[in-house]
Amino acid sequence: MDRDFMRLLDSRWEQGLFLCVGLDPGYEKIPQSVRSSSVEETFLTFNKAIIDATKDIVCAFKPNPAFYEAQGIEGWKALQSTVDYIHAVAPDVPVILDAKRGDIGNTNVDYAKMAFDNFGADAITVQPYAGGEALEPFLDRSDKGVFVLVRTSNGGAREFQDLEIGGKKLYEIVSGATVGWNKNGNVGVVVGTTYPKEIGEVRAIVGDMPILMPGVGAQGGDLEESVRLGKNSKGKGFIINVSRAVIFASQKDDFAEAARAKSQELHSAIQKAL
């Protein structure tokens, strides 16, 4: 299948699907009944169940490599197998690798190969600090999505992101830069739902570009306000990511059913907010 991130994502939006499930399996939280002596098998069994339970409700899946890297080579294998499984059973659902990469351009060439060519991710999150020139290895991949961190969901985000330069806050300046980087129409931004006012400000700067919005659930983000302020002029253009509140909705044997129920609840809340 010829995979183009924005085409895949827009197709999901057309179906009214805006929820992204973060596949971030902490080994200690996985139900005992799923665990085996193999971390790779444990992660993959758990992820498969979550994917099967939610694949018709989501606009994307978003694994964060940190949870896999922490488990060594078995974790890396589980990440690869997870992406392969999504492509096999939900080929119309894009995969966003939440790697937050960002280095000098020479290094980013290999980061892009890792994400897109080896793991088969459809999009990646990146750090803007090294500037647009350094991000070109990602930006030049016109069939892949590139989500630039603009206003992160953590409490300490204000330390740098709210700094004022020439009358504008840093996250506003970065937002404006992403518009210039969007020559291939494949750039989006990341703004946490823990800062809904800033979502509206960023939307006004980036126009109809996609906004990936983490923070609903365990971090206490405001879903309703985020949807209201984050949708674009077409009533689309946003991705609500939820990880822990979905995948660990239950730590018992009914974890997959609980994940589906939570996803349906969030989907309904998004529709209501629209």
Residues carrying an active site annotation: 100
Q: What is the spatial order of strands in the sheet that 58-63 belongs to?
A: 58-63, 19-23, 238-242, 211-213, 187-191, 145-151, 123-126, 96-101
Cα–Cα distance, 34 to 256 (Å, whole number) = 11
Cα–Cα distance, 184 to 127 (Å, whole number) = 18
β-strand partners of 238 = 211
Alpha carbon distance, N-terminus to C-terminus of the chain: 32
Of 239, 258, 254, nearest to 22 (Cα)? Answer: 239
Q: How far is C-alpha 56 from the geometric centre of its chain's CA atoms? A: 17
CB 203 within 8 A of CB 236: no
CB 181 within 8 A of CB 135: yes
